[in-house]
Amino acid sequence: MTDGPPTNLQPLDDVEEPAWRDLARFFVLAPRYLDDDLQRGANISLSTYSALTHLSEAPDQVLRVTELANRVYLSGSRTTRLVDALAADGLVIKRRSAGDARGVEVILTAKGLERLQRAYPVHLGSVRARVLDHVPRSTLPDLAEAMRAIAKALG
């Protein structure tokens, strides 16, 4: 990633402009619709679903709050509020890190895993209906490669 925009900017061309506008629209709409579907179908937010998913995939189903924040793409303060809400609902347990008393670990509970498993079919259906069903399967590898390149450039 660069420190700022280059000084020799060229306007987007006839291929780049619609691609950028569609991508920008996707960035705004997709999370909103995926969240709405999860809220309606499973009474869970996309942020909660994402946090529970990352915890379920972590070794021993434990992550430090800072690592969880990085994986769910939320600020540290927003992640702390989310974790507090999840702990209040019994979906996770918070504890001080044994190796670093300043750090806080988040542990997925059986109730949290069960909640994630109940929400999974709703999320899967939403991802398919809202996104993947509209992309020709033969182009998915190219789409994945493009998204990986963008994500890598962004950090």
pLDDT tops 80 at residue 116: yes
Rounded to the nearest integer, the mean pLDDT of the chain is 95
- Percentage, residues of the chain above pLDDT 70: 97
Q: Compute the distance between CA of residue 31 and CA of residue 150 in angstroms, rounded to an integer.
A: 17
Q: Compute the distance between CA of residue 63 and CA of residue 48 in angstroms, rounded to an integer.
A: 15
pLDDT tops 70 at residue 96: yes
Burial class from Cβ neighbours inside 10 Å (0-12, 13-18, 19+) for residue 41 reads: middle
Q: How far is CA 64 from the centre of its chain?
A: 16
pTM: 0.89
Mean pLDDT, residues 27-45: 98
pLDDT tops 60 at residue 155: yes
Would you state the pLDDT for residue 101? 78
pLDDT-based confidence at residue 109 (cuts at 50, 70, 90): very high
Report CA-CA distances (Å) from 46 to 10, 52, 65, 119: 37, 10, 17, 10
pLDDT tops 80 at residue 10: yes
User: At 70, is the secondary structure helix, strand, or coil?
Assistant: helix
